[in-house]
Structure 1
Amino acid sequence: MSVPLLDVRDLVVRYGTVTAVDRVSFSLDAGETLALNGPSGCGKSSTALAVLQLRRPDSGRVRLEGQELTGLSDDELRPLRPRMQPVFQDPYGSLSPRHRIRDAVAEPLKVQGRWGPDGPARVAELLDLVGLGPSYGDRRPHELSGGQCQRAGIARALASEPRLLVLDEPVSALDPSVRAGVLNLLSDLRDELGLGCLFICHDEAVVRHFADRVVRMRDGRIVTDEG
């Protein structure tokens, strides 16, 4: 049997005496979109943070391409982080207002030691991949619409060449008129690049449009897993 891209088993996240995630288990294959759906406060975002190891789980297991992440030190996790990248809800808040878009997209390449003479061309390629022309690289976030800014955030995530995208309400802050365009872009990227997508969303209509499979949560637990 093939190894899932992401395998989560018996995940528990607590904040003091409150159990936000209670023995959650699911798996996700490359090229698949799995939605975590449920009302506000049900544990969706806490699950996403634990998958990314941005909030260390209290117990349970998270494996990426068969490699155990829980229990690794920050230094051990550092070379693995490019393989799993987040796209957050607020398209403006995820980018520095002081930096031009080209610098924001270039930052992961520089941090990971992969910046070279072809770096500017790679940034232009990434902007084109998400439907932004190279001229957008000269702009700052406040000069872009919400949808354009979210596309720039996606380009920045793709700079690390991830295998997994963790999409935390990526279109809920956008105008309804631009949501479909961003979702269609994410679908195309998933298919073209073979990405796995963990999609955090409370909107039933958006989930039905975008996800291959839906896991519904309530009070920190999975209540249904729908293929």
Structure 2
Amino acid sequence: MTEPLLDVRDLVVRYGPVTAVDGVSFALAAGETLALNGPSGCGKSSTALAVLQLPRPAGGEVHFEGRELTALTERELRPLRPRMQPVFQDPYGSLSPRHRIRDAIAEPLKIQGRWHPADGPARVAELLDRVGLDPAYGDRHPHELSGGQCQRAGIARALASEPRLLVLDEPVSSLDPSVRAGVLNLLADLQDDLGLGYLFICHDRAVVRHFADRIVEMREGRVGVTSG
């Protein structure tokens, strides 16, 4: 069998004396969408952040591309972080209000040493076009975009790192239904084109059924039923 892109085993997350995630396990293949579904406070987002090692889990293992992340130092994790990128619920909160969209998308390229003045602007324009935005939107600030446009810009920023895994934490829950469908269709197209794995956190069962290949139900920090 092909090794999973992401393999989470007996994950535990604690905040002080409170156990938010208690022994959660699941695996995700490249090109697959696995949804974590459940009510608010059930541990979905805590699980997602622990997968990203933000913060480090209190117990269990997170295997990404065959490497066990919890055993790595921060320095050892650094080259792996670009390959697993988050997309958050609040599109405005995930982008600096002081930066133009083009600068927000260019930032990961610069941090990772992959920015070149000769072709960097063209790469930013390509990423904007890839998510269905006119490259001219790069001159705008987040508050000058609609919620759907801003979320598309956030997806473009995540794609700048050329990830294998996107951790999508309620990425459409703050959007109007008509806009929500467009963003979900964009994510589906990107997955088909790039072979991305999606860990999709969502409380809306109808959205999950439409979008995910498999669903892991969470209740009170634990896994309930897993369905296809």
Which TM bucket (shorter chain)? over 0.9
RMSD: 0.6
Whether 2:7 is the aligned partner of 1:12: answer no
Cα distance per residue 1:136-168 (max 9 Å; x no partner): 111110110000000000000000000000000
State the alpha-carbon separation in 1 of the partners of residues 226 and 177 from structure 2: 27
Matching of residues 21-170 of structure 1 within 5 Å: 21-116=21-116, 117-170=118-171
State the alpha-carbon separation in 2 of the partners of residues 92 and 150 from structure 1: 8
Instruction: Give TM-score, length-normalised by structure 1.
Output: 0.99
State the alpha-carbon separation in 1 of the partners of residues 141 and 14 from structure 2: 38
SS of corresponding position for 2:198: strand
For residue 74 of structure 1, report the CA deviation from its aligned partner: 1.2
SS of corresponding position for 1:11: strand
Cα distance per residue 1:86-116 (max 9 Å; x no partner): 0000000000111110000000000000001
For residue 36 of structure 1, report the CA deviation from its aligned partner: 0.1
Q: Paired residue for 2:191?
A: 190
SS of corresponding position for 1:198: strand
Cα distance per residue 1:165-216 (max 9 Å; x no partner): 0000000111122000000000110111000000000001110111010000
Unaligned runs of 5+ in 1: none
State the alpha-carbon separation in 2 of the partners of residues 57 and 98 from structure 1: 32
Instruction: Give TM-score, length-normalised by structure 2.
Output: 0.98
Greater mean alpha carbon deviation, residues 10-19 or residues 154-163: 10-19
SS of corresponding position for 1:127: helix
For residue 71 of structure 1, report the CA deviation from its aligned partner: 2.2
Identity rate, percent = 83
SS of corresponding position for 1:96: coil
Counterpart residue identity of residue 16, structure 2: G
State the alpha-carbon separation in 1 of the partners of residues 104 and 38 from structure 2: 32
Unaligned runs of 5+ in 2: none
* Number of residue equivalences: 227
SS of corresponding position for 1:136: helix
For residue 15 of structure 1, report the CA deviation from its aligned partner: 1.3
State the alpha-carbon separation in 1 of the partners of residues 26 and 71 from structure 2: 19
